[in-house]
Chains A and B, each alone.
Chain A
Amino acid sequence: AQSVTQLDSQVPVFEEAPVELRCNYSSSVSVYLFWYVQYPNQGLQLLLKYLSGSTLVKGINGFEAEFNKSQTSFHLRKPSVHISDTAEYFCAVPHGGATNKLIFGTGTLLAVQP
């Protein structure tokens, strides 16, 4: 089964600063990778996904992520964050096999301060 690891439970950052949220996956086969965002008291919303092709994936709200096979990483980046980006961010990978379920990381709280 595949899995993802988000090492940072919380990332504080000042407004307009760049940010990187880390995600590492474990897989020996081709992977699909996803980033979701959860704003307070809401469900999760898909930010971006990597299926194949270009390793740099652009998503909504100015976020992008880079698939790095050699480092088994899929880090999320934004060059300049806003207060409104404060949310929980989850990396996810399909479990594999016959089920289509996604396995989620434990999440990273991005706390943007003025």
Chain B
Amino acid sequence: GAGVSQSPSNKVTEKGKDVELRCDPISGHTALYWYRQRLGQGLEFLIYFQGNSAPDKSGLPSDRFSAERTGESVSTLTIQRTQQEDSAVYLCASSFPGQGFGYTFGSGTRLTVV
């Protein structure tokens, strides 16, 4: 597609439930990133994919968080047993490999845990 697509755009879930967030990157962008943005705060790196491997998972906050990527396309971020502190906007970005290209971001998924 023309841009990075994320779904759902909004998700309200009960504490303790599992959620899956989806990201569809720009075709040809082999690099894919997940970030978390809590209300009024900056962007917190979660995980980086190059193709379908994840060389940097250093930002995943706990073992309740996991992510997968199919080839060089769709990625899903899964949060198990959601907690209220997981409430945030989850942003996905994709880019060509290399540090000079910059990212293209999706519009994000706003997750609210009640």
**CB of B25 within 8 Å of the partner chain:** no
Assess whether A56 is interfacial by the CB under 8 Å rule: no
- Say whether B42 contacts A90, CB under 8 Å: yes
**In whole Å, how far is B113's beta carbon from the nearest beta carbon of chain A?**
19
A100 to B55 CA separation, bound complex (whole angstroms): 10
A-B contact count (CB 8 A): 57
A window 11-52: CB within 8 A of B: 32, 34, 36, 42-46, 49, 51
Q: Are B105 and A45 in contact (CB-based, < 8 A)?
A: yes
Asked if A69 is at the interface (CB within 8 A of a chain B CB), the reply is no
**Smallest Cβ distance from B47 to chain A, in angstroms?**
9
Contact: B102 with A104, CB < 8 Å? no
The one of A32, A46, A51, A105 that contacts B103, using a Cβ cutoff of 8 Å: A46
With an 8 A cutoff between CB atoms, is A98 at the interface? yes
Given the complex, which residues of A lie within 8 Å of B105, measured CB to CB? 36, 43-45
Interface residues of B (CB under 8 A from A): 4, 31, 33, 35, 41-43, 45, 48, 50, 55-56, 91, 93, 95, 97-100, 102-108
